[in-house]
Amino acid sequence: MKITFIDGSFKEFPNGTDALKIASSISPSLAKRAVFARVNGDNYDLTRPINKDASLEIITRDSEEAFTALNHSCSHLLASAVKKIYPDACFGVGPAIEEGFYYDINPGNDIKFNEDDLPKIEAVMAKIAQQDYKFERQEISKKDALVLFKNDKYKQEIINELEADEVITVYRHGNFVDLCRGPHVSGTKLLKYFKLLNVSGAYWRGNSENEQLQRIYGVCFFTEEELKKHLEVLKERAERDHRKLGRELDLFMISEYGPGFPFWLPKGLVLRRTLEDYWYKIHAREGYQFVQTPIMLNKELWEISGHWNNYNDNMYTSEIDKHEFAIKPMNCPGGILVYRNHLHSYKDFPLRLGELGLVHRHEASGALNGLFRVRYFTQDDAHVFLTADQIEEEVANLIRLFDEIYSTFNLSYKIELSTRPLEKYIGSVETWDKSEKALANACRNSGKDFKINPGDGAFYGPKLDFQLRDSMNRVWQCGTIQLDMNLPERFELTYIDEQGDRRRPVMLHRAIFGSLERFIGIITEHYGGAFPTWLAPVQIRLIPVSREHHLDYVKKIKDLLFNEGLRVEIDNREEKLGYKIRDAQTQKIPYQLVVGEKEVSENLLTYRKYGGVATTMVAVEDFVKMIKAEIANLGK
């Protein structure tokens, strides 16, 4: 058979030769680094025979895909250890995820896992790994699969959804077998460097109406050094948890009287308002007009938009004047009513309507998580109405805007283009193809790489999703640009074209922060609570050495700084100077100004920046110029 490599070269091998032998023939070091192979675009285990002409790519340890295969293999190792300790255990799914793996498990006999169980499970995993069991792939029929997993109702449910003639693959290591497509690493000896991290609840198949399983999270690396480094990062993340920092820095609170409804405390509200002011300023520059739509609207509107049929379980409702109303879970229908309030011409386009709109969604109580998952939040929405010919240019403008805003917060990102679903989509294939091409061209013309996410577009149109990466190397889905062919049709939106005829506009939905609440949670952890000066709730803390001799001068300086638009406070507590300086550092205030005799007598200021120990003495007017320039440049 003829094997073609990714560089275009090819070589002949006997039929049935596997990828590991092919890699060994090229280079022993390549074989050593190999994890799995891609054969004609399909994932193959290294020892799976290749029986026909094929293109071949060897996936090595330095690839993200290799990390995925390693961690999925470790999820099988976890399951085998749990089965050994808890023979009645049944298993849901155990995928690899961005930073490791998890497995959803019912251990049986009403057993509840806790954190103390993890070391015991780890010990059994380590013993199994030492046995160097091979991961053996086997193809079986649906009938045989149902027999094999007759004692696991979750696997039975998955198998019963497959076609009768579908070939099913299972993987064995030792005496444990699991339903799986693969690929896997060659054997358990590669699963040395792992750690189980925590336990949480998870509804079977993500449906709150199903029973709750227990999800064990873990991570596995090829080397001990990589694992150690990752665990150090996790420790730092725990220190940066926005819920912890929110309490320590007095930003927000959650009350038992409103689960999922955060309260903004004074400092947190300053942070939020500063973010809003930035958003309004930059969007006004880009030609957006701002609207505010009602929080509660008649049920009929939500029926027209389709939300009532598809989303009503997540909506809060009430009755007004014997009519049913719903609190909005999304801003789009309100924005459309604003559009319909006037007759529009092609000359109005692109028409950009922005709204910081408060929405409510009935999230499951078990899913609530600080500011990351709440029941009310503010979307930084905008709805752009335009012609089909304007899509490419407008999306390119949006990408430029996204890039500017994310770079302000030192957040890098990747773009995913989600394309037409295979089923249940509206509009013609021709329109979808044209729309997808416009989004792709906008990315290319902006110099941005993107990844195709096939079939994951919304039923009403393709979309670009922006995956942010923070200082802790985590990925967050925040920004999105969605092309909508559904709502303009449902609401019969029109504009007058150049010939005087009525046409349907194209509608773009876009959000950059995603939600203010979640974005504030993200940047709180991204900065570790040490916000840049322009964003910090308190920018300057004045600390008099002596309340008796220096407080009057400090109050004078505070008034001066306040009148310059700076956020400043005085610490005049009866505490030692060292304590007050440490407290200012603990509160992560960008500038601490200690005022003593020299400062008072010579009209000076001595400042220390957060995180530093050096102090600098400057004239008052020079300090004002310096800090205002820093704020104006957003810290850049």
The whole-number pLDDT of residue 635 equals 64
Q: CA 386 to CA 337: how far, in whole Å?
A: 16
Domain coordinates of the chain in residue numbers?
A: 2-60, 65-239, 282-293+328-526, 540-632
- Report helix, strand and coil shares of the chain as percent, to nearest 5: 40, 30, 35
Q: CA 390 to CA 174: how far, in whole Å?
A: 60
Q: Which of 184, 328, 361, 510 is catalytic?
A: 361
Residue 212 catalytic?
no
Packing angle, helices 118-130 and 64-85, rounded to 10: 110
Pairing of strands 34-39, 54-60: antiparallel
Task: State what percent of residues in the chain have pLDDT above 90.
Answer: 78
Domain 65-239 part of CATH 3.40.605.10: no
User: DSSP string spanning 533-550?
Assistant: TTT-S--EEEEES-HHHH
Residue 90 catalytic?
no
Average pLDDT for 146-174: 91
Fold of 2-60: Ubiquitin-like (UB roll) (3.10.20)
The whole-number pLDDT of residue 307 equals 84
Name the CATH code of domain 540-632 (choices 1.10.1510.10, 1.10.3720.10, 3.40.50.800, 3.40.190.10): 3.40.50.800
Please say whether the beta carbons of 434 and 389 come within 8 A. Answer: no
Residue 103, token pair as written in the block:
């497995």
Report residue 262: phi and psi, to 5°.
-65, 145
Residue 473, token pair as written in the block:
């190397």
Q: CA 563 to CA 495: how far, in whole Å?
A: 48
- Position of tokens 């899913």? 367
Q: CA 182 to CA 73: how far, in whole Å?
A: 8
Instruction: Give the pLDDT confidence of 522-541 residue by residue, as tens digits.
Output: 999 999 999 999 999 999 99
Residue 478 catalytic?
no
The whole-number pLDDT of residue 253 equals 94
Q: Which of 509, 518, 526, 588 is catalytic?
A: 509
If you ran DSSP here, which 8-state letter would residue 373 be given?
B
Q: CA 136 to CA 144: how far, in whole Å?
A: 17
Rounded-to-10 torsion of CA 186, 191, 193, 198: 130
Q: Which of 220, 332, 443, 478 is catalytic?
A: 332
Average pLDDT for 191-220: 91
Instruction: Give the pLDDT confidence of 558-587 residue by residue, as tens digits.
Output: 999 999 999 999 999 988 999 999 999 999
**pLDDT exceeds cutoff 70 at 636:** no
Residue 180 catalytic?
no
The whole-number pLDDT of residue 167 equals 85
Buried b (16+ CB within 10 A) or exposed e, 148-176: bbeebebbbebbeeeeeeeebebbbbeeb
Please say whether the beta carbons of 451 and 488 come within 8 A. Answer: no
The whole-number pLDDT of residue 423 equals 81
Please say whether the beta carbons of 607 and 615 come within 8 A. Answer: yes
The whole-number pLDDT of residue 365 equals 79
**pLDDT exceeds cutoff 90 at 422:** no
Least confident of 159-168, 225-234, 439-448: 159-168
Answer with the residue of higher pLDDT: 275 or 111: 275
Q: Which of 18, 104, 381, 484 is catalytic?
A: 381
Q: Which of 76, 375, 420, 463 is catalytic?
A: 463
Give the length of the chain. Answer: 636
**pLDDT exceeds cutoff 90 at 342:** yes
**pLDDT exceeds cutoff 90 at 195:** yes
Residue 191, CB-side half-sphere exposure with 13 Å CA sphere: 39
Instruction: Give the pLDDT confidence of 283-318 residue by residue, as tens digits.
Output: 999 999 999 999 999 999 998 888 888 778 889 999
If you ran DSSP here, which 8-state letter would residue 149 be given?
T
Q: CA 309 to CA 480: how far, in whole Å?
A: 24
Do the domains spanning 282-293+328-526 and 540-632 agree at the CATH topology level?
no
Q: CA 194 to CA 74: how far, in whole Å?
A: 8
Average pLDDT for 73-77: 97
Number of Cβ within 10 Å of residue 120's Cβ equals 12
Residue 307 catalytic?
no
Q: Which of 214, 379, 390, 587 is catalytic?
A: 379
Residue 155, token pair as written in the block:
């696997």
Average pLDDT for 445-469: 89
**pLDDT exceeds cutoff 90 at 131:** yes
Pairing of strands 591-595, 540-544: parallel
Residue 539 catalytic?
no
- Position of tokens 């293109």? 55
C-alpha closest to that of 417 among 445, 443, 387: 443
Fold of 282-293+328-526: BirA Bifunctional Protein; domain 2 (3.30.930)
- Position of tokens 């044209």? 434
Please say whether the beta carbons of 544 and 551 come within 8 A. Answer: yes
Residue 123, token pair as written in the block:
């010990």
Residue 112 catalytic?
no
Report residue 196: phi and psi, to 5°.
-85, 135
**pLDDT exceeds cutoff 80 at 33:** yes
Q: Which of 383, 448, 510, 526 is catalytic?
A: 383
Calculate the average pLDDT of the chain: 92
